[in-house]
Amino acid sequence: MTLSKASEPTELKSDDDDSFEFSDVALEDWISLSLFFLLATILIAQVVSRYALNAPLGWTEEVARYQLILLSFIGASIGFRKNTHISFVYFHSFVPRRLMPICSALLSLINTLFLVFLFITCLAIVPLITSHEMSSLSLSISVLYGLLGLCLALCLLRSAIRCANDIKRLFLKSDAPDATSTNTPLTKDP
């Protein structure tokens, strides 16, 4: 079976560059790095106190769990910024190239609207759970939801920027591929 010129895959840009530039590092990168090292410190303290001192710290498990949740949401924001979220590129091979910008803009809009819903829901929940405290700390669980709201706001900002770029690209009808494109076609149309 031979492949025709039209069905040859396009060359995808590799993220395996060894070059590092501080201009590529954003706010969420620093937050996630700090949170990760704080999480590592807490987990080391938990292991040392439990196995070496035989006196476990009760609050470390709960705080570590909440830090992992926050780290996941900050990682989602990094994924929106770098456009590295998982997507179904299989279906893109069936969409004609001229419809790709429309599909990309539509998917970006759906992502942004879903994040708006999550953000509004999070803001609605925070005042309702102020009386609930964490089980091991005398701190309201609404603090965690407030921090989740900040992470969702960061995700929403990154997604809205992506959506605006996709819609702008749709109306400019530029044929030049952009690094911020949300959908990379795997094959060219004949």
pTM of the entire predicted model: 0.73
CA distance 155 to 116: 10
Domain, as residue range, for 50: 26-87+95-172
Do the domain assignments include residue 160?
Answer: yes
CA 109/CA 85 separation, integer angstroms: 15
Contact criterion met (CB below 8 Å) for 29 and 1: no
**Residue 163 belongs to some domain of the structure:** yes
Query: Are residues 70 and 34 in contact, defined by beta-carbon separation less than 8 angstroms?
Result: no
pLDDT number for residue 125: 93
In a domain, 177, yes or no: no
The answer to whether residue 123 is domain-embedded is: yes
CA 59 to chain centroid, in Å, comes to 28
Q: Please work out, in degrees rounded to the nearest 5, the angle formed at the alpha carbon of residue 82 by the alpha carbons of 79 and 86.
A: 50
Q: Is residue 189 part of a domain?
A: no
Total domain count for the chain? 1
In a domain, 79, yes or no: yes
Low-confidence ranges of the chain (pLDDT < 50): 1-12, 179-180, 184-190
Q: Is residue 145 part of a domain?
A: yes
Count the Cβ atoms, other than its own, within 10 Å of residue 52: 8
- The CA distances from residue 50 to 43, 67, 74, 146, in Å, are 10, 20, 29, 31
Give the residue among 151, 154, 156, 178 at the shortest CA–CA distance from 165.
Answer: 178
